[in-house]
Amino acid sequence: MLALYFVLIGARIRSQMQYKFSFIADFFATFIGMGLEFAGTLVLFTHMPALGGWTLPEVALLYGTVELSFALANMIAEGFDSLSNVIRLGEFDRFLLRPRDVFFQVLASEFAMRRIGRVAQAVLVLGAGLWLLQADWGLERWLFLGWTVLGGTVFFIGLFVIGATFAFWTIEGLETVNIFTHGGVTMASYPLNIFAEWMRNFFVFVLPLAFVNFYPALFLLEKPDPFGLPGFMPFLAFPLCSLVLFVGAAFWRVGVRHYQSTGS
Amino acid sequence: MLYLALFQKSFQRMMTYRAATLAGIATNFFFGLLRAYLFIAVFEASGQAQIAGYSLKDAITFTALTQAIGMPIAILQWWWEVMRTIRSGEIVSDLTKPFHYFGFWLARDLGRAAFHFIFRGLPILLFFPLFFELRWPDSLAHWGLFLLSVLLAVLISFCWRFLINLSAFWFLDAMGIGRFAWLTMTFFSGFLVPVAFFPDWLRYVVNLTPMPAMVNTPIEVYLGIVQGTELWAALGSQLAWAVGMGLLCEWVYRRGVRRLIIQGG
């Protein structure tokens, strides 16, 4: 199955690389354009020494990890992002006819190479942050950082799957999911402790966004938990992020069973 | 009149997307709150009552206003329609119709913007006071000047989008150019952070472009940061950008049509 995935994705990537000029133009557009989002934070830091007790390099670590996770998830889960179009055009039936798992097919149907610009700017900000922090970490912390990014990617793929599944009922995609995906990224780009209590509680206890980067960053930077929760919280990060994908996959199965074809 | 009808139809077309409108309001509102808490933390950390002439109340009002005018000014959602018709060749049927091409799209875009201002913008301003105290214009004339500034900002934004869309005459795939034009707009227009907060050199550079006239100017008019002669100068500069860019659109369009090659058919 994994081999098949790489065959299909490889074909996708090659086809997107056919238009070299437009690929490069798109890369720089996204790289610079998305990077300007962080320029906003830089401007704010010219007026203050730290934000909610977090210095600029520390905020760069938060921003870099969540952006990287989100951009990777966006690349991988593109098939789910465009699912509502597939359903509306009545093309989803085709997936059901093939002798492979539907979830796998949708996952392997698209790979958004064009999002690489966003990945690159996230890596740049993350790298700059780590460099300014002069992170003198042992191997286990570097591994933990990689593990964190992976967890965040799994988390956002889970959210994309949940968002896409609604399309089985509503045909149109559900725009409110943007609050959790794009809103989640924006929120997680800043220290969670600057937001209102109800928002924090929601993103710690209901949707575990806090575990995408905030708790892992507390561990990496050896900062005390502003909410006074137990010290093992950072280590729940990966399991909780996986849980989101697990819930998404379960919801997906319900959605597929509910699918009624459209079109004529 | 034809253009009035186009305006009306475009407005009505937007009315049909009820669920999307509600979802959009919820999303914009959430982003507004997020950004408001961000600015509260910034003011707290700076230890100052005012940053670059903005009080905290001004900054919170800024977050509500940007979310409210973000849709009319099409900064939250880019506009690809002209590019799409050039790429698909549909533009041919538009060229054969007896209307002014720029006027046709402008009328439709103004219809869309009017809808977004009423149904996406005003609800944000109405609900925001549930969480934060906002600053309000102190007179009807002040409201009028703000609306005028928003209208000019929509015109400038339209010209900007139209120009970028026209690049499809020269480049087969102008998506990258479009995305770049869109993403740069969010920062340089003062949508993310007020232009007044920028370092001097950056503010100087940005003020040479039409970017601040799309977002920063209407907000400064609303907040009363520009007053008296400064206010008229701000509106005058918006008007100059709108007229200048409108003429540029017409010129670029005429050149573009001359090189138009319709493939297939």
Q: H helices within chain B, ranges in order?
A: 2-15, 18-46, 56-70, 81-88, 91-96, 101-116, 122-127, 140-166, 175-188, 200-206, 211-214, 216-223, 229-259
Per-residue pLDDT at A58: 96
Contact criterion met (CB < 8 Å) for A26 and B51 = no
Query: What gap in Å lies between CA B33 and CA B36, rounded to an integer?
Result: 5
Over residues A100-117, mean pLDDT: 85
Q: Average the pLDDT over each of A103-107, A194-198, B229-233 and give the range with the smallest value.
A: A103-107
Cβ contacts of B230-239, under 8 Å, gap ≥ 24: B231/B145, B234/B149, B235/B145, B235/B148, B235/B149, B235/B152, B237/B213, B238/B149, B238/B152, B238/B153, B238/B156, B238/B213, B239/B152
Q: How confident is the model at residue A174 (pLDDT cuts 50, 70, 90)?
A: low
Q: How far apart are CA A251 and CA A157, in angstroms?
A: 13
Which ranges of chain A does DSSP label H, i.e. alpha helix? 2-16, 20-45, 56-76, 78-81, 83-88, 92-97, 102-109, 116-133, 139-165, 167-170, 177-188, 197-201, 214-221, 237-258
Tell whether the model's pLDDT for residue A193 goes beyond 70: yes
Q: What is the pLDDT of residues B146-163, one digit of tens each?
A: 999 999 999 999 999 999
Which position has the token pair 């870099």? Answer: A64
CB pairs under 8 A between A and B: 112
Residue A219 lies in a domain: yes
**pLDDT for A184 beyond 70:** yes
Whether residue A71 lies within 8 A of chain B, CB to CB, comes out as no
User: HSE (CB half, 13 Å, CA atoms) of A243?
Assistant: 12
Please give the DSSP secondary-structure letter assigned to residue B172.
S
Closest-CA residue to B122 (of B84, B79, B69, B172): B69
Give the type of residue at B38. Answer: L
Query: Tens digit of pLDDT for each residue in A209-244?
Result: 999 999 999 999 999 988 888 888 888 888 999 999
Q: What is the mean pLDDT of chain B?
A: 91
**In this model, does residue B113 exceed pLDDT 70?**
yes
Closest CA–CA distance from residue B215 to any residue of chain A (Å)? 15
The answer to whether residue A173 sits within a structural domain is yes
Neighbouring CB atoms inside 10 A of B18's CB total 10
- To the nearest whole Å, the CA of A100 is away from the closest chain B CA by 34
Q: Tell me the percentage of chain B whose pLDDT exceeds 90.
A: 69
Residue with more model confidence, B171 or A140: A140
Q: Which of A51, A166, A171 is most worth mutating to test chain B (most B CB atoms within 10 A of its CB)?
A: A51
State the Cα–Cα distance between residues B190 and B179, nearest whole angstrom. 18
Interface contact A179-B27, CB threshold 8 A:
yes
Instruction: For chain B, list residues whose CB is within 8 angstroms of any CB belonging to chain A.
Output: 19-20, 23-24, 26-27, 30-31, 33-34, 37-38, 40-42, 45-48, 51-52, 171-173, 175-177, 179-180, 182-184, 186-188, 192-193, 197-199, 202
* For chain A, percent of residues with pLDDT exceeding 70: 97
What is the pLDDT at residue B265?
45
Decide if pLDDT at A260 tops 80. Answer: no
| Structure confidence at residue B136 (pLDDT) | 96
The pLDDT of residue B57 is 96
Note the pLDDT of residue B144: 96
Please give the Cα distance from A80 to A163 (Å, whole number).
8
Count of structural domains within chain A: 1
Residue ranges per domain, chain B?
2-259
CA nearest to B194, candidates B77, B84, B38: B38
State the pLDDT confidence band at A263, using cuts at 50, 70 and 90: low
Write down the pLDDT at residue A4: 86
Inter-chain residue contact B183 with A40, CB threshold 8 Å: no
Spatial neighbors of A201 by CB under 8 A, at least 6 apart, are none
Q: Which of A96-110, A113-127, A164-178 has the lowest mean pLDDT?
A: A164-178
Q: Is A235 in contact with A211 (CB distance < 8 Å)?
A: no
Interface residue A174 vs chain B (CB under 8 A): yes
CB contact under 8 A, A194 and B173: no
Give the separation between CA A227 and CA A215, rounded to whole angstroms.
11
Instruction: Output the CA torsion B17→B22→B27→B30 (10° steps).
Output: 160
Chain A residues inside the 8 Å CB shell of B195: none
Distances (CA, A) of A141 to A216, A219, B142: 10, 9, 56
Q: Of B38, B58, B30, which is closest to residue A52 (Cα–Cα)?
A: B38
Categorize the per-residue pLDDT at B263 as very low, low, confident or very high, splitting at 50, 70 and 90: low
pLDDT tops 80 at residue B173: no
Q: Among A67-71, A165-169, B24-28, B50-54, which stretch is predicted with the lowest mean pLDDT?
A: A165-169
Cα-only R_g, chain B:
19
pLDDT bracket for residue A26 (50, 70, 90): confident
Instruction: Note the pLDDT tens digit of each residue in B235-248.
Output: 999 999 999 999 99
Q: What is the mean pLDDT of residues A53-58?
A: 96
Instruction: Specify whether the CB–CB gap between A104 and A1 falls below 8 A.
Output: yes
The predicted complex's ipTM stands at 0.90
For B30-79, the pLDDT digits (tens) are 999 999 999 999 999 999 999 999 999 999 999 999 999 999 999 888 88
Highest mean pLDDT among A138-142, A154-158, A226-230, A259-263: A154-158
In this structure, is residue A263 part of a structural domain? no
The pLDDT of residue B232 is above 80: yes
**Domain that residue A89 falls in:** 2-258
8 A C-beta contact, residue B185 and residue B211: yes
Q: Which token pair is B88?
A: 């698909």
Mean pLDDT over residues A188-215, rounded? 91
Top mean-pLDDT range of A27-31, A129-133, A227-231? A129-133
